[in-house]
Amino acid sequence: MSCRQTAVLLGALAVLVAGCSSSPEIAPPVVGGSLVVAGKDKAGQPAVWRVTEGAATPLLTGNTAPKLPAVALSPDGRTLAYVNGSGRIVLHDVGAGTEIVAQASVTGALCASWAPDSAHVAFTSEQGVYTADRKGAVAGLVTRPSGNYRDTGPGSSGQYREVVSGMTCARWTDPDTVILSRYNGDLPSAIPSAGGGLAPNTTVVGHVAAGTVQDLPEEENLLHACQGHVLLHRSPDPIVTGPTLLADASDLSHTTEVPLGAGDVAWFFQPGTCALVVVSYPGDEDSYDYTVKLFDPVTGQQRNSRTLPMALGGDSGIREPAGSNSFVPSPVPGALAAAYADDNTHELVVADLTTGGARRLDGPWSEATKVLGWTAK
């Protein structure tokens, strides 16, 4: 029974309330710089805002609104890349407000991500993976479509086979390389195995400059990247949880397993140090104690660990974040603060892992769906 529930039954169960902790009184963090947030406005239409301390300014709205969730902010904070309502790829200059609309269009855009040097952006769609440079030149990288479709074999007389295909979002390991997972694949490989799961597919590594792709023998999902260090999650089977691995972006075959516990969630690589920041959630719903761990990005060994109360969960008014949340770290080198849009409540939250303070930010949105970036200005 939670603190909130026992408070309602106070008259009859006062003896139980005595053992229930209250939310810690910790000063909420101040938002330094700017957050760029995608979501839906009060009318339910997609939009993007710049959020500073006490203000929210629309960047994309109305006719320039993106088609969610395929929108991303370049790491240098200068350009928003998105797919508009007509399926066209658009590059929006945040400072000048001008746009480049590419000639190419994509169908069923799923997501977008920028290279770490802000020179290219990758869009993952039902048609495959496409990249665009800052001038709007678009090239196809992975052209195998997602979904269910019929594939006609070469030299056949109208013969075809049923194909089932899907891809995870392409993410960058370095300025020239993206990684994504193909799952299921052709229908024969999607026949359930003896264990009832679908046969695994493969990891695809794409090289943008050469326009080439290669398949790796195991399916690995890229979670985070920082200055040549990448965090991967290996999926030996779609229904089996595999290990979490650190690797050098130049050679994904050399991996080091990160010893994560059942309640551990990797939040982000710390800016400046690239230390992997892992947060361990309390198993007790009446506890506010979280453990923050830092792991070496090369060896995977734990550098330090600290347990502190945090104003998340319980009766704090801010729900404990889900493990699927995308956490965006503060741009300050060495900082341990992050912003995220809660996947369940669609609220914009900033949490400071140094003080334990947390804060929900209100604005002109009905839903905050994703934090695209946190810039110093």
Q: Note the pLDDT tens digit of each residue in 317-342.
A: 898 887 778 999 999 999 999 999 99
Q: What is the mean pLDDT of residues 73-90?
A: 95
pTM value?
A: 0.85
Query: Which of 118-127, 146-155, 354-363 has the weakest average pLDDT?
Result: 146-155
256: domain CATH number is 2.130.10.10
Query: Which of 9-23, 130-144, 156-170 has the weakest average pLDDT?
Result: 9-23
pLDDT classification of 81: cutoffs 50, 70, 90: very high
More confident residue, 305 or 157: 305
pLDDT classification of 49: cutoffs 50, 70, 90: very high
State what percent of residues in the chain have pLDDT above 70.
Answer: 82
Whole-angstrom CA distances from 336 to 243, 353, 370 are: 25, 5, 19
Confidence at residue 241, expressed as pLDDT on a 0 to 100 scale: 60
Within-domain flag for 6: no
The answer to whether the CB of 127 falls within 8 A of the CB of 133 is no
Query: Which of 119-123, 180-184, 286-290 has the weakest average pLDDT?
Result: 180-184
d(CA 199, CA 370): 32
Within-domain flag for 4: no
User: Alpha helices of the chain — where are they, by DSSP H?
Assistant: 3-8, 14-17
More confident residue, 21 or 87: 87
The dihedral formed by the CA atoms of 285, 269, 74 and 355, expressed in degrees to the nearest 10: 50
Within-domain flag for 237: yes
Cα-flanking dihedrals φ and ψ of residue 17, to 5°?
A: -65, -30
The tally of domains found in the chain comes to 1
Strand partners, 178: 172, 206
Within-domain flag for 8: no
What is the residue range of 264's domain? 33-142+162-187+199-375
DSSP 8-state class, residue 7: H
Q: Hey, is 122 helix, strand or coil? A: strand
List CB contacts of 244: < 8 A, sequence separation 6 or more: 223, 231, 232, 233, 234, 257, 258, 260, 266
Q: What is the mean pLDDT of residues 18-24?
A: 60
Within-domain flag for 20: no
Within-domain flag for 192: no
Single out the residue of 292, 357, 288 nearest to residue 320, CA to CA. 288
Calculate the average pLDDT of the chain.
83
List CB contacts of 68: < 8 A, sequence separation 6 or more: 38, 39, 40, 46, 369, 370
The answer to whether the CB of 81 falls within 8 A of the CB of 70 is no
b/e per residue, 231-244, with b = 16+ CB within 10 A?
bbbbbeeeeeebeb
Within-domain flag for 369: yes
Within-domain flag for 290: yes
Q: Which long-range contacts (CB under 8 A, 24 or more apart) does 50-57 make?
A: 50/94, 51/348, 51/361, 51/363, 56/363, 56/364, 56/365
Q: What is the mean pLDDT of residues 291-298?
A: 96
Q: Hey, is 190 helix, strand or coil? A: helix
Neighbours of 198 (CB within 10 A): 18
